[in-house]
Chains A and B, each alone.
Chain A
Amino acid sequence: MFRQLTILLLTSAVALLSTLVQAETLHVRLDLSDSTPPYQQFSAALDKALIENNADVTLIESQAGAKPQSGNDAQIDLVIAVGVRATELAITDLNAPLLSVMTPRASYEMLRKTSQRSAKAVSVIYLDQPWGRQLSFIQAALPNHSTVGVLYSPNIPIVLPRLPQGMSLNAKSVSSAKTLFATLENILNSSDVLLVIPDSEIYSSSNVRNILLASYREKVPLIGISQAYVNAGALCAIFSTPEQLAGQVAKAIISFSSSRQLPEPQYPASFSIGINQQVARSLGIEMASPDAIRKRMKETEEGEK
């Protein structure tokens, strides 16, 4: 009995001590751009990841644009802005360091230019996959498809990569909705695959339908940017899910709680591969399993090092 009490006291003392040493509970405000499923999934996964890591963090969830509860602001140590809209609003609020997540790189860079924040007070975990990863994915999944077609709107900044050996890029700008299908036909005639980039003018949900039909007609597979694209009829896609991003954010929060430093802007660490086997079969394309593709990508990456 006495022995048990001693142990209890000792553990409590250790716990108390470590809390004192580690500083106080971290107050994190989670700004969601929206309440639709992707944000909810992100929020739930972040909660779970923080609990699993026994992180001493208080998450205060709020909707972007909603008025902050008065009095709380002073206690916020870190703001996680999920999505472009939340980032846009939070970036002007200079009180707490900001980590943006689920934000495409192009948008983040544009918001960053207009903001007064110092580089140390803001960072990001992008939603896009790095070009190198996308190209390595195409090489691993479709070794005989070396000409990659890309359609983009001229008013959207797009940074195109230098290509690995044996690959070539066929990028064409679409000047207006009227010329979309002519440009599409042209690009399908001269490419082995069509790689989707986030561009709502070109890839609106009604356009996606026609783009998918045309690419299937020309037997040029479409490479999407989400599982929805794969379900709709894209041959495959490489993407990061809200859950995967939440895991990465949880790590960043934990590291912030001790160092008070934001991580460098970074791409998603983990990613998923989706394959539409029915489309593959119909196009007569032999697709390896996601695991095998991942392995090939890793081998190529190691080979390059």
Chain B
Amino acid sequence: MKQSRCRLRMSVLSVGMICTSAWAADYPSEQDYFQELPVVLSASRLSQPISETPNAMTVIDRGMIVASGFRNIADLFRLVPGMYVGYDDGHTPFASYHGMTDQYARRMQVLVDGRTVYLPPVGGVDWLDIPLHLDDIERIEVIRGPAAASHGANSLQGVISIITRDAASMNGAAVSLTRGSGGISDASARLGKSGGDLDYRVTLTNRMDDGHDLQVLNDSSSTRQINLRGNYRFNMRDSIDFQFGYSDGIRGMGNSLRATEPFRDANTSSDFQQLDWLRVLQDGGEFKLNYYHISRSYMDSSALAIEKDNYRVHRHEIGLQHTMSLGASSRIVWGGAARYDTIASTMLFKAPQSLQLFQIFAHDELRVAPSLLVNFGAMFEDDGMGNRNLSPRASLNYHVTPEHTLRAGASVAYRSPVMFEQKSNTSYTVSRSFRSVGALRPERVFSREIGYLGEFREMNFSLDARIYQDQVRGYIFLDPQPTAPLSFSFSNLYAANYQGFESTLKYHLSKQSNLIFNYAHQRASCAVTGSMTMPKFAPTLQGYIDQCPLSVPSDSGSVLLTGQLTPNLQFSAGYYHQGKVQVLDAQWPQALMRRLDMRAAYAFGRQSRPGGGEIALVVQNAFQDNYTEYSNVTQKAGFISNRRAYLTATLEF
């Protein structure tokens, strides 16, 4: 009886031909139910929901990357509340969080698939040189605030963790061409295959532009890259992920206002190889063993160059990580790593340098009650320069209701001196020499925060807000030495205090239309805490310290609007606002920046299928708002960032 009623409620949508094919499995068998499956979404693949992370976190996902219209990775950080993005010249962007930066932003850890790309000799990241195409980024997780307990030294201000698209994410081929003003000329080809035991994707890229539209600077660049990611599965539990990348670039150098910097080309190259072996354990835990090598070289060896700057850096790291569950309420992650860095640079160090770093860490995510999550952990690190640091972190996430969460956290983190600060011994003939005296202590931050996360589902918006206080002591700064002629070393010279408020509001207009609004209010104060080797320079230092409150823009923010106008037409707009800011090593403050970028994209054919594709137009600084970039030169030359437009056509095969 029951059965017949059930049949009445059904309608036959499709009854296909009963197949005559010899393949027996043309109709379902119980094997479809009982087949064993590999654990795909294991602990390390799952991102933690923002309401359960121990730190404040901003996630820049693919949708935002596309909607922003940006051509390079560093610009994306304009979408993070409190983050500063500057350009030393057209090919040297840098990103920092909570001010106190210079063009070698070195107080954030930067990872690509767990591999640090923050380089030891001078610190900082050469964003253009990372062999990674924007289209290959799955998402970027930006931890706002120190996270040394899980990410090690150099995550003093925060962590940028770039997660690239899985080896299986591409099936087919696509080519893309971009042309635009400012000499923008990009091309890329992507190819991938997935479905068997082996998945892979390969991307080839060529990027070129003329840099800033500024005659006094030679800052054009061209970069060729290849990036490959593959994944091979031995069995249900074990898989190996292998990655390889190579980048080769030409960077225009030179400044017509400085006699020591004639126009010329420098060569850069960087490559990496990475192997991750992942074993998924019976209890849902996992074990990961990884090795990677990165290398980067910079050669400014043209006959015209007066100081023939050059270096070649290598990093090898081997690490392991074990994630395990202790009952249903506790998840423990522990592991360790050993790293070996070398640098050869006749200009910066005279003799080749190397250092070995070791770290071990453990943290526990403990669900005390369904509504209360406690995270605590620590990392112990030997930075290879005589410093052993313990960086602890504790945080508490309380779900007042499932939609409303309060978070409170405290942590300590260190930044180890970079090799150049500790060991510089330059061979410059014209520029000022650096002779490090050494004996630097790591910079240390003590950070506290209270955050709130709210999901207002009925009103279609979510809010993420926090207030924080970061106290940094032992900031490393230039310390002139009484040699003849005068040279520079570095010392721990001052302390700083940062306080502020950050918020992100996301409003879902519809399934494919969103509005993201970021706002940060920041305050900074500094005090001299060390003494200079040459007291006569104390007033110079005091001069910098007096500028400290300006080292963060008091108000900054961004708005990103994405809308699907018709099934084929997508429109997005990004508005970026940044108050007046004095970057530490700039001679003049950077005036208020207001900028509107727009993107419109028309999709044709069927997406991700042969013949499908897209044409996209991006206009940056659409209203030609006057603003300058960070660099000393650009401001002295009265440089105004101009409107830029570029058109990208993509075709799938």
A and B held together in a complex: yes
A265 and B3 contact, Cβ closer than 8 Å, known pairs A228-B36, A232-B41:
yes
- Chain B: which residue is nearest A105 at the CB level? B28
Q: Which of A84, A173, A213 contacts B30 (CB 8 A)?
A: A84
Task: List the one stretch of A14-22, A90-98, A155-163 in contact with chain B.
Answer: A155-163
The answer to whether the Cβ of B114 comes within 8 Å of any Cβ in the partner chain is no
Question: In the bound complex, do residue B26 and residue A156 qualify as a contact, i.e. CB atoms below 8 Å apart?
Answer: yes
Contact A160 B11 (CB under 8 A): yes
CB distance B30 to A185 under 8 Å?
A: no
Contact A232 B37 (CB under 8 A): yes
Other-chain contact of B14, A160, A180, A225, A228 (Cβ < 8 Å): A160
Contact: A286 with B10, CB < 8 Å? no
Contacts of B234 in A (CB 8 A): none
Q: How far is the CA of A226 from the CA of B36 in the complex (A)?
A: 10
Residues of A within 8 A of B32 (CB): 104, 198-200, 203, 225
A182 with B14: CB separation less than 8 A: no
* Contact among B9, B19, B30, B171 with A162 in the assembled complex (CB-CB below 8 Å): B9
Q: Is A260 an interface residue (CB 8 A)?
A: no
In the complex, B48 has a CB within 8 A of chain A: yes
How far does the alpha carbon of A226 sit from the alpha carbon of B138 in the complex, in Å? Answer: 29
A168 within 8 A of B: no
Q: A159-B13, A177-B195, A200-B28 are in contact. Are A282 and B168 (CB under 8 A)?
A: no
The distance from the CB of A90 to the nearest CB of chain B, in whole angstroms, is 15
- Flag B163-174 by CB within 8 Å of A: 1 or 0 each: 000101101000
B19, B47, B455: the one contacting A282 at CB < 8 Å is B47
The residue of chain A having its C-beta at the shortest distance from the C-beta of B17 within the complex is A155
Give chain A nearest CB distance to B42 CB in angstroms.
Answer: 8
Is the pair A233, B39 in contact by a Cβ cutoff of 8 Å? yes
Contact flag A205-B27 (CB < 8 Å), given A158-B13, A213-B168, A284-B49: no
Q: How far is the CA of A239 from the CA of B30 in the complex (A)?
A: 12
Interchain nearest-CB distance for B653 vs A (Å): 12
Q: A154-B16, A155-B26 are in contact. Are A205 and B37 (CB under 8 A)?
A: yes
- Which residue of A is nearest B43, CB measured? A278
Residues of B near A154 (CB, < 8 A) are: 14, 16
Instruction: Please state if A104 and B28 are interface contacts (CB–CB under 8 Å).
Output: yes
B312 to chain A, nearest CB (A): 37
Chain B 21-32 interface 0/1 with A at a Cβ cutoff of 8 Å (1 = within): 100011111111
Complex CA distance for A304 and B63, rounded to whole angstroms: 41
Residues of A in contact (CB 8 Å), total 74
A266→B31 CA distance, assembly (Å): 20
Interfacial chain B residues near A157, Cβ < 8 Å: 14-16, 18, 27
Interface residues on B, range: 35 or more
- State in angstroms the CA–CA spacing of A170 and B11 once bound together: 15
A156 touches B199 (CB 8 A): no
- In the complex, what's the smallest C-beta–C-beta distance from A172 to chain B, in angstroms? 11
The answer to whether B15 touches A205, judged by C-beta atoms less than 8 angstroms apart, is no
> In the complex, which residue of chain B has the Cβ closest to the Cβ of A201?
B25
Chain B residues within an 8 Å CB radius of A103: 30
Stretch at the interface among B413-421, B555-563, B574-582, B606-614: B606-614
Are B30's CB and A206's CB within 8 A?
Answer: no
Closest B residue to A110 using CB positions: B27
- Chain B residue nearest to A103 (CB atoms) is B30
Quick check: is A264 within 8 A (CB to CB) of the other chain?
yes
Minimal Cβ-Cβ distance residue in A for B11: A162
Contact of A131 among B10, B45, B47 (CB under 8 A): B10
Nearest B residue to A173 by beta-carbon distance?
B14
| Residue A121 lies at the interface, judged by CB distance under 8 Å to chain B | no
Give Cα distance in the complex from A179 to B171, angstroms: 9
CA A4 to CA B521, docked complex, whole Å: 94
The chain A residue sitting closest to B606, CB to CB, is A182
Contact A182 B609 (CB under 8 A): yes
Whether the pair A232, B40 counts as a contact (CB closer than 8 A) is yes
Chain A contacts with B in 204-241, Cβ cutoff 8 A: 205-210, 212-214, 216-217, 225-226, 228-229, 231-233, 239
Q: Would you call B26 and A181 a contact (CB within 8 A)?
A: no
Q: A2 to chain B: closest CB distance in Å? A: 55
Q: In the assembled complex, which residues on chain A have CB atoms less than 8 Å from the CB atom of B40?
A: 208-209, 212-213, 232-233
Complex CA gap A293/B624 in Å reads 57
| B30 in contact with A104 (CB, 8 Å) | yes
**Contact indicator A107/B166 (Cβ below 8 Å):** no
- Name the contact of B609 in the complex, choosing from A156, A179, A276 (C-beta under 8 A): A179
Which of B6, B25, B171, B233 is close to A130, meaning CB atoms less than 8 Å apart? B6
Give the complex CA separation of A150 and B197 in angstroms. Answer: 25
- Cβ distance B93 to chain A, nearest Cβ, rounded Å: 27
Contact with B along A262-305 (1 / 0, CB 8 A): 00111000000000111101111010000000000000000000
* Distance A181 CA – B610 CA, assembled complex (angstroms): 12
Q: Are B195 and A160 in contact (CB under 8 A)?
A: no
Q: Is the CB of A206 within 8 A of B197?
A: yes
Q: Is the CB of A226 within 8 A of B194?
A: no
The residues of A that contact B607 with a CB separation of less than 8 Å are 182, 185-186
Docked-complex contact B27 and A106, CB < 8 angstroms: yes
- Assess whether A149 is interfacial by the CB under 8 Å rule: no
* B37 close to A181 (CB less than 8 A): no
Contacts of A225 in B (CB 8 A): 32-33
Residues of B within 8 A of A46 (CB): none
CB-CB under 8 A from B49, the residues of chain A are: 281-284
B368 within 8 A of A: no
Q: Are A228 and B29 in contact (CB under 8 A)?
A: no
Chain B residues within an 8 Å CB radius of A177: 195
Query: Is the CB of A55 closer than 8 A to any CB of chain B?
Result: no
List chain B positions with a Cβ less than 8 A from chain A.
3, 6, 9-19, 21, 25-43, 45-49, 51-52, 62, 138, 166, 168-169, 171, 194-197, 199, 233, 284, 328, 402, 455, 606-609
Given A159-B13, A173-B14, A210-B195: 17 more A-B contacts, CB < 8 Å: A104-B27, A104-B33, A110-B18, A132-B9, A153-B16, A154-B14, A159-B15, A162-B11, A199-B28, A199-B32, A200-B31, A205-B36, A209-B38, A214-B169, A226-B33, A239-B33, A282-B41
Per CB-CB distance, the 5 closest pairs between chain A and chain B, nearest first, are A233-B41, A198-B32, A198-B28, A232-B37, A282-B46
For this complex, 11 residue pairs linking A to B, each with C-beta atoms less than 8 Å apart, are A83-B30, A106-B28, A154-B16, A158-B15, A158-B16, A186-B607, A197-B28, A214-B169, A217-B138, A225-B33, A281-B48
